[in-house]
Chains A and B, each alone.
Chain A
Amino acid sequence: DGGITQSPKYLFRKEGQNVTLSCEQNLNHDAMYWYRQDPGQGLRLIYYSQIVNDFQKGDIAEGYSVSREKKESFPLTVTSAQKNPTAFYLCASSIGSRGNQPQHFGDGTRLSIL
Chain B
Amino acid sequence: ELKVEQNPLFLSMQEGKNYTIYCNYSTTSDRLYWYRQDPGKSLESLFVLLSNGAVKQEGRLMASLDTKARLSTLHITAAVHDLSATYFCAVDFWRDDKIIFGKGTRLHILP
Contacts and interface: CB of A to CB of B under 8 A. Distances in A.
A100 interface: yes
Given A98-B94, A102-B33, A107 B41 contact: yes
Determine chain B's interface SS by DSSP, over half rule: strand
A42 B88 contact: yes
Nearest to A44: B101
Interface size class of A (residues with CB under 8 A): 20 to 34
Given A42-B88, A43-B88, A98-B94, A108 B45 contact: no
Contacts of B98: 45
Given A100-B31, A102-B35, A43 B101 contact: yes
A90 B41 CA distance: 10
Interface in B84-108: 88, 90, 92, 94, 97-99, 101-104
Contact of A45 (B9, B92, B99): B99
A42 B45 contact: no
B30 to A, nearest CB: 10
B102 A42 contact: yes
6 contacts: A35-B101, A40-B104, A42-B103, A90-B43, A101-B48, A108-B40
Interface of A: 35, 40-45, 90, 92, 97-98, 100-108, 110
Interface of B: 4, 9, 31, 33, 35, 40-45, 48, 50, 88, 90, 92, 94, 97-99, 101-104
